[in-house]
Amino acid sequence: MRGRAAILALTLTALGCAQNAYFELQVQLPAAPAGQTWYAQVQVRDSTNPLSIPWMGPGDVPSIPLEASPRWDCISIEGTRPDVTLHVRVRFCRSPDCLDLEDGDPPQRLYSFETPFYIGSRTYYRVQVPRIPVCTTDADCASGACIEERCGCATSADCGPTERCEPGAGCVTVVTRCQIEGCIEGPVSASYCSGETEQHFCERNPSITRDETFMCSR
């Protein structure tokens, strides 16, 4: 078995092929409310992990503190399978490890990214979280309705047109594959799929990168 793996590795090396892909997720985090300490933690899993329950174990990026003004958090997600759909949870906690007693039911935003990995390509997406999803009324929620001081949902009617409701967890922003940026030159486009064939541009031009849209300094 090991011998076969070595042969395969050497063969691929000879061909000079990348076997991985990167999805560069850029999250604009909200400002911390005055006088309060909050941390944002991005958790990433494949879609076999339901968004309706908390996650533990590997797949968490270390949390970062919110600042007095909005800031970007950029996460490079490496994948090796083009058929994987990603689930992402951005949760807001009062302690860095999200295990403070106040963090029992941390407010969160949820995302589902349809097949963002194209082997040998780099793809991008930017999300903005304008405010921490805690609330006293529905008007406080950028997404969902106010349920027990958290922006959540009971039915899909509570969520926006590009969202679905995960009862008990909240509205899930669904990002389709054609919304995932990559493999095209020029300005940001509304769709990253061919209008004729519905192919994603990364299926046609895998080597074109557009790092100028990366929001974090390297």
Q: Given the rule CB under 8 A, which residues bind other proteins?
A: 2, 6, 9-10, 12-14, 16-22, 24, 44-46, 50, 52-57, 59-62, 73-81, 84, 86, 98-99, 101, 103-106, 117, 120-122, 147-148, 152, 154, 167, 211, 214, 216, 218
Q: Report in angstroms how near the CB of residue 16 gets to other proteins at its nearest.
A: 5
DSSP classification of residue 5: H
Place of tokens 């959540």: 152
Q: How far apart are CA 92 and CA 112, in angstroms?
A: 18
CB of 25 to other proteins, least distance (A): 9
**What is the spatial distance between Cα 7 and Cα 118, in angstroms, rounded to a whole number?**
24
Nearer to other proteins, 133 or 152 (CB): 152
Minimum distance of other proteins from residue 9's CB (angstroms):
6
* Pick 30 or 87: Cβ nearer other proteins: 87
For residue 99, the minimal CB distance to other proteins (Å) is 7
H-helix segments, the chain:
2-15, 201-204
Which C-beta is closer to other proteins: that of 58 or that of 161? 58
Shortest gap between Cβ of 193 and other proteins (angstroms)? 21
Measure the CA–CA gap between 43 and 140, rounded to whole angstroms.
24
**For residues 172 and 159, what is the distance between their CA atoms, to the nearest angstrom?**
8
The residue (of 3 and 187) whose beta carbon lies closer to other proteins is 3
Indicate the pairing of strand 39-46 with strand 64-65.
Answer: antiparallel
Rounded to whole angstroms, the Cα distance separating 71 from 78 reads 23
